């Protein structure tokens, strides 16, 4: 479990940090979408990664329609990503504490 949490956290950090970096719009970046496709294929049962992927799809659709700005989408995505990272860190710490007992 700990290894899975660590790997998942690492993948989220690597792939998600480049999603909307520096106001660059990755919504139409084929390479970025391939990375996401690979990430969700790697562990289709990781609901947190699935949720971020779905959020990314939805945010890109809203940006394309003009419903929100890229900056707003970035803030929404980063907030969700940070919450998931924090949850995974807490899960990892609980797992380590359990193993010590």
User: What are the tens digits of pLDDT across the range 82-99?
Assistant: 999 999 999 999 999 888
In angstroms, the CA 20 to CA 25 distance is 6
In angstroms, the CA 78 to CA 43 distance is 21
Say if residue 4 is exposed, middle or buried (CB neighbours under 10 Å; 0-12, 13-18, 19+). Answer: middle
79: helix, coil or strand?
Answer: helix
**What pLDDT was estimated at residue 3?**
59
- For the chain, give every domain's residue range: 2-21+28-100
Does residue 21 carry a pLDDT above 90?
no
**Greater model confidence, 12 or 20:** 12
């Amino acid at each position: 479990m700990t290894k899975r949490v660590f790997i998942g956290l690492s993948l989220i950090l690597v792939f998600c940090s480049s999603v909307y970096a520096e106001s660059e719009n990755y919504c139409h970046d084929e390479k970025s979408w391939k990375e996401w496709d690979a990430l969700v294929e790697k562990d289709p049962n990781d609901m947190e990664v699935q949720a971020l992927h779905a959020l990314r799809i939805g945010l890109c659709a809203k940006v394309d329609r003009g419903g929100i700005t890229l900056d707003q989408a970035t803030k929404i995505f980063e907030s969700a990503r940070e919450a998931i990272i924090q949850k995974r860190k807490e899960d990892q710490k609980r797992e380590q504490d359990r193993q010590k007992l």
